[in-house]
């Protein structure tokens, strides 16, 4: 992700928004952002505590919604409140054919 690709993605999304909802064609959009997507084999995020580190990752493209929710749950756990983490204890299945550098991402991008 970089500013140019984010801007291009934003233009594509804006055009689609106007095509689907013409009444929103002139509405200003305050922010557009992009970045790398982290994915897990089963598309479920993982969150918890391991070796002194709290973590939440693997949102598989759904981080805008889930990261806020899991962030509040983990904050409660960090403060000693009830641990309501729905992702606690999930296994981390590996992705077949993947090790190290994500060699397949350029093909995913072309798709």
pLDDT in tens, the chain (111 residues): 788 888 898 899 999 999 999 999 999 888 887 777 788 888 889 999 999 999 999 888 888 788 999 999 999 999 999 989 998 888 888 777 777 777 777 887 787
Whether 53 is in a domain gets the answer yes
Residues 43 and 86 in one domain: yes
Q: Measured between alpha carbons, how far is 94 from 72 in angstroms, rounded to an integer?
A: 28
Please say whether the beta carbons of 66 and 45 come within 8 A: yes
CB within 8 Å of 89: residues ≥ 6 apart: 48
Residues 18 and 46 in one domain: no
End-to-end alpha-carbon separation of the chain, Å? Answer: 16
Give the residue from 37, 29, 28, 40 showing the smallest Cα distance to 109. Answer: 37
Q: What's the domain range around 71?
A: 37-93
Can you give the pTM of this predicted structure? 0.62
Residues 29 and 44 in one domain: no
Residues 27 and 43 in one domain: no
Give the pLDDT score at 73. Answer: 94
């Amino acid at each position: 992700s970089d500013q140019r690709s984010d801007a291009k993605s934003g233009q594509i999304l804006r055009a689609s928004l106007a095509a689907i909802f013409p009444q929103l064609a002139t509405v200003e959009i305050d922010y557009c952002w992009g970045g790398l997507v982290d994915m897990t084999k089963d598309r479920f995020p993982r969150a918890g505590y391991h070796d002194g580190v709290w973590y939440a990752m693997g949102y598989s493209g759904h981080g805008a919604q889930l990261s806020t929710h899991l962030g509040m749950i983990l904050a409660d756990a960090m403060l000693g409140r009830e641990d309501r983490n729905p992702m606690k204890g999930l296994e981390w299945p590996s992705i077949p054919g993947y090790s190290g550098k994500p060699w397949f991402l350029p093909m995913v991008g072309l798709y």
